[in-house]
Amino acid sequence: MEIIVYGIINSVTLSLMALGFTLVYSISRLPNFAHGALYITCGYIVWICINALGLGYFPSIVLGIAATSAIGALIYRLIILRIRGMEISEIIATYAIGLAIIEGLRWGGLRGSTFTLPSFIAGSVEIGGVAVDYQRLFVLVFGVVVFAALNVFVKFTKTGLALKGIAQDERAAMMLGIDSDRIALISLALGSGLSAFAAVLILPLGSIVVETGYNVLIYSIAVSIIGGLGSWGGAILASFIVGFAQILTEVFLSTHYQMVISLLAIIVTLLVKPSGIFGKQKELDDRV
């Protein structure tokens, strides 16, 4: 029972982390290596808002998410836009930005376990004999809400449909008058916002440390590759696979193996089915 409950919660956590990364990649084909950095940035902004500026909890959360989205948009507008299409430069630039943010925060004093966010409501309930605190339930609930909202957004709004169009066929979408740069900007802002949202939900479970930035990046990459780069459904399914695998290793082996398991999963995926679980249409494209 414990395995099932915590497995589900861990899986939803992973898919929340990975959603931003896989969204940006699926729409603008941009591997956003700054994803983990944006995640940790949001946590830090919220912490500053609460502790240094004395704002309330919920205003700070809104401010944090908005600020992180703005940072994502700025990164696109100022840097990525100029090197769009040059694959090597794109990878190096986003990697450099991510490193700069993470190491900048480390230098700026984000060390140790003194930085924590309060949980929404303290306390815990019992589900089937397993004690689960409210924050983990919030992760679960909001995770499902975000997926639903994102689906509605993509299917029923004009911007959402434009996003989908660019993701499917960029040239055809451009011929129909969709501005590819604007959509890419929106996608990066949205992806950053999603990573910020995940940070706000997940960070209260632990403390804000810079290493989390790297972990989030690695886990989201693992989930995206296993699910098939750019496929949302695949990412969700993959996060359940990785999530349960992690919980199982934690219960039966030890916590140390968690990272090894995700990497092993990536390598097995690349060997057996390189385009991931749901990456069917790209299978020919990605193979050399």
Partner 1 sequence: MNNEHKRKERIDRGIKVRSDGIFAISSLREMMYLAGPRILLIAGLLLLPLVLGLAPYWKRVINIMCVYALLAISFDFLANCVGLVCLGGSMFIGLGGYFAAIFNVYLHLPVYLSIPAAAAAGAVVSTILILPCLSLRGVYFAIVTLMYPLLFTRVIEAFNILGGSNGITGLDSFPGQNPENYIIIGILLAVVFGLRRLLKEDIGLVMHAVKDNDQSVRASGIDVARIKALAVLIASFIGCLGGAYLAHLYMWAGLSLFALDFSIIPIAAVTIGGGGTLFGAVVGCFILVPLSEFLRVFGTFRIVLYCAVLTGFIVFKSEGLMAWCTRKYEQFERWVEV
Choose one: 3-11, 41-49, 87-95, 236-244; the region binding partner 1 (CB under 8 A).
87-95
Using CB under 8 A as the binding rule, whether residue 259 contacts partner 1 is answered as: yes
Using CB under 8 A as the binding rule, whether residue 263 contacts partner 1 is answered as: yes
- Output the CA torsion 279→280→286→287 (10° steps): 130
Helix (H) or strand (E) holding 216: helix 211-227
Using CB under 8 A as the binding rule, whether residue 284 contacts partner 1 is answered as: no
Interhelix angle for 180-202 vs 35-51, to 10°? 60
Using CB under 8 A as the binding rule, whether residue 214 contacts partner 1 is answered as: yes
Using CB under 8 A as the binding rule, whether residue 229 contacts partner 1 is answered as: yes
CB atoms under 10 Å from CB of 263, counted, come to 11
Residues 118-177 touching partner 1, rule: CB under 8 A, are none
Q: Where would I find the H helices in 108-206?
A: 134-156, 158-168, 170-175, 180-202
Q: How many CA atoms lie within 13 A of 157 on its CB side?
A: 9
**Of 40, 31, 14, the residue nearest 213 (C-alpha):** 40
- Of 61 and 265, which has the nearer Cβ to partner 1? 265
- Of 83 and 130, which has the nearer Cβ to partner 1? 83
Q: Are 186 and 159 in contact (CB under 8 A)?
A: yes
Q: For residues 157 and 160, what is the distance between their CA atoms, to the nearest angstrom?
A: 5
In the complex, the smallest distance separating the C-beta of residue 131 from partner 1, rounded to whole angstroms, is 27
Task: Please list, in sequence order, all residues whose beta carbon lies within 8 angstroms of the beta carbon of residue 17, skipping any fewer than 6 positions away.
Answer: 39, 195, 198, 202, 216, 219, 220, 223
Q: For residues 119 and 40, what is the distance between their CA atoms, to the nearest angstrom?
A: 17
Q: For residues 3 and 262, what is the distance between their CA atoms, to the nearest angstrom?
A: 18
- Reading the block at residue 134, the tokens are 């409210």
Q: Could you tell me the CA-to-CA distances from 269 to 242, 263, 265 in Å, in that order? A: 12, 10, 6
Using CB under 8 A as the binding rule, whether residue 260 contacts partner 1 is answered as: yes
In the complex, the smallest distance separating the C-beta of residue 47 from partner 1, rounded to whole angstroms, is 19
Choose one: 11-19, 66-74, 94-102, 188-196; the region binding partner 1 (CB under 8 A).
94-102
Using CB under 8 A as the binding rule, whether residue 107 contacts partner 1 is answered as: yes
Using CB under 8 A as the binding rule, whether residue 92 contacts partner 1 is answered as: yes
Binder among 13, 14, 33, 76 for partner 1 (CB under 8 A): 33
Using CB under 8 A as the binding rule, whether residue 115 contacts partner 1 is answered as: no
- Of 200 and 265, which has the nearer Cβ to partner 1? 265
Binder among 56, 59, 104, 206 for partner 1 (CB under 8 A): 104
Using CB under 8 A as the binding rule, whether residue 95 contacts partner 1 is answered as: yes
- Of 101 and 173, which has the nearer Cβ to partner 1? 101
Choose one: 4-12, 65-73, 76-84, 186-194; the region binding partner 1 (CB under 8 A).
76-84
Sites of contact with partner 1 (CB under 8 A): 31, 33, 79, 82-83, 86-89, 91-93, 95-97, 99-100, 103-104, 106-107, 214, 217-218, 221-222, 225, 229, 256, 259-260, 263, 266-267, 270-271, 274, 285-288
